[in-house]
Amino acid sequence: MIKRIKKLLKANSIVVATSTTVVIIYLSLAYLNMKALGSFSYMDKLGHFFAYFVLTCTWFLVARKVSGLMFRVFIAIYVFLFGLLIEGLQLVLISYRQADLYDIVANLMGILFAFFLYDKMVELTREIS
C-alpha cells in the first residue's frame, strides 16, 4: 500500500503541489469563522506551520530530479514570498481576515523545517522502495 502511494505521488507530484497551493490560497483568503480560536491561537500558528511545511515538501517533490542545495533554496524563497503575498492580500483586499507577523513567522518555520528535513525524508522514502 505504501509503495503504491509513493508511486502515485511521484507520478502526480505537480498535481499534488498545485492542489496544495490552491488549497492554501483558499484557506487563507476565504471567510472562515475563526472567532472560537481567539485573536492569537497556537492552533492557528500550528496550522500555518503545517501548511507551509507540506507546501514546501510538495514543491521539493516536484523538483526532486533537479538536485542541488541552491535549487531547494530557491524553492524555499519562493514559498516564503508566496506566504508574504498571501498575508499582503489579507491586509489590502480582505476585511474579514487580518495579516499577522506571527503567521509569517510560523510559515517561515514550516519552510525551514521542511528544508532541513528534506534529505532525511528522501532517505526514509528510499527504504520504502
Domain ranges of the chain: 2-128
**Residue-level pLDDT at 39:** 54
Cβ atoms 53, 113 nearer than 8 A: yes
Mean pLDDT of all residues belonging to the chain? 85
Cβ atoms 61, 118 nearer than 8 A: no
**Residue-level pLDDT at 102:** 93
Alpha carbons 99 and 44: distance in angstroms, whole number: 13
Predicted confidence band at 110 (pLDDT cuts at 50, 70, 90)?
A: very high
CA dihedral (122, 59, 45, 104) in degrees, to 10, reads 120
Q: Read off the pTM.
A: 0.83
pLDDT per position as a tens digit, 44-53: 899 999 999 9
SS3 content of the chain, % helix, strand, coil (to 5): 80, 0, 20
Which residues are within 8 A (CB) of 10 and not within 5 positions of it... i.e. 6 or more apart?
Answer: 61
CA dihedral (80, 121, 27, 25) in degrees, to 10, reads 50
Predicted confidence band at 75 (pLDDT cuts at 50, 70, 90)?
A: very high
Alpha carbons 24 and 19: distance in angstroms, whole number: 9
Cβ atoms 75, 24 nearer than 8 A: no
